[in-house]
Chain A
């Protein structure tokens, strides 16, 4: 971190992973544009967004990859999570299957991802209390056991949406205290330090 001490803007690559319809795109749209649409088109492939966030005297610029949730698109995901400074694994609190899928993503990140990646677990659609299927305690325990930080969010009401990104930014700037003081290194200024796997399909 000391390397770019002169510059207060840090780039951080964030990837959103999670089941179809969990609300990945909606969270990003809420965070980036402050909007919510009732019928958000499904994401095909992946979509890129960016947004800056000020954390005390520093600014983090998020480069956000919003991925497609369907299992069939799984093969495209590693390119987006590899080298990401942070990952938000999203499930829908009104859908148990999406929580199971979220756990699979966490496992995959633990196995294949960068150990420095800050992983957040987002229980989205927190406004749908009447149809809740995933208990908050269950998710909290799971997050603790796996070293993730956890929030219930609602893209619809905007609850905790900025907060989750703020928390990520803070952790990135501090480095992950628990295990990894070096996590901040993933933040980078120069494009060629950006660790998107550019491994071309042909080479």
Chain B
């Protein structure tokens, strides 16, 4: 509107032309920036392929060798025969899946209670739990470690250092999960819940038959969120495991450093072997992953 008042038709057309060429230049520039950051994001991880298929000695050669001159499989061979890589990978799967499944169960149940049930001190209790929303493992590392060690005696070795329950259970407590689930259940129309009550359903039946089926998206999102957090977890597994029987990938790979005068080719191979499956899964379920990560923060 203002533009119209400013000048006559000729100017206007010229302006339009100039601004449209400006716009296309701008969009090309923004495209270039985005492409640059795409390369920065993906490039480093892609480069790992090269050292993974090279003998470690060639890594330090000068002039640098960018691509493998031969398809060297020694790193992988070493990884599979001289280390417990397979065991670590299995353990990671057990650990991350275990935490995810337990967290999903307890979080959805508690989320339902906080969203839909009435009980005394509900607000106070929820406030307390909320205050512990982001307590880092590091801040309670010593007492948690001590606790698990004590539990070893009290539970006759069932929960303890170097056991899966001892590794998994302390990580299942995530107030954030309860919070997300409560938020989600609160967005479901309360009428559904009330209709089911009128229809005679118990809380358990309402939960399993009405609420749970409608929560699928939230459950997938929370599941991915928890799994991603735990599969990358280093600090707790580092403290809670001392043997390869329960050691997970993050810890295992960090033991490769130094243990064998740092065989870089092997580290590259281990990293690559770990990244390939998760990348494939990611590419299949990218929408959910993206949603999961943002949901964690945006769902408040």
**Chain A bound to chain B:** no
